[in-house]
Amino acid sequence: MNHPDFRVRGRIFATLGYPDDAWGMVKLSPIDQELFVQADPETFSPVKGAWGKGGATRVQLRTARKALLSRAFDCAMRATLAAQQARRPARRTSKKSS
């Protein structure tokens, strides 16, 4: 796939140009996805299939308002970081004996 993407700690949280130059995609939490779709259904819509149910959200760039798109990017970045953190095993802290 030859389209620009946005990453945090090596993980993609948004892309441009898919399926064509008029669109982008942000990886939101399902709850955030619902809120953005409700706020601006002309701009935001779930991707079809399982990815969409997981929060992948299409963005119609022509109708996107800068402030709302900026918030969507922030939410997508935070959701990606949270998912990455959840996959990490918990760190053990050892107590030193006195």
Give the pLDDT confidence of 37-88 residue by residue, as tens digits: 999 999 999 999 999 999 999 999 999 999 999 999 999 999 999 988 888 7
Q: Is the pTM of this model over 0.85?
A: no
Residue 30 has pLDDT above 70, yes or no: yes
Residue 97 has pLDDT above 60, yes or no: no
Give residue 54's pLDDT. 94
Mean pLDDT of 25-30: 96
Classify residue 18: in a domain, yes or no.
yes
Number of structural domains the chain divides into: 1
* Residues contacting 75, CB < 8 A, separation 6+: 26, 28, 29, 32, 36
Classify residue 64: in a domain, yes or no.
yes
Q: How far is C-alpha 90 from the chain's CA centre?
A: 24
d(CA 2, CA 15): 10
How many other C-beta atoms are found inside a 10 Å radius of the C-beta of residue 52?
A: 16
Mean pLDDT of 5-19: 92
Classify residue 78: in a domain, yes or no.
yes
Classify residue 96: in a domain, yes or no.
no
For 24, 28, 57, 78, the CA distances from 51, given in Å and listed in that order, are 14, 10, 9, 18
Classify residue 92: in a domain, yes or no.
no
Classify residue 23: in a domain, yes or no.
yes
Classify residue 59: in a domain, yes or no.
yes
Give residue 2's pLDDT. 76
Classify residue 95: in a domain, yes or no.
no
Domain hosting residue 79, numbered range: 5-87
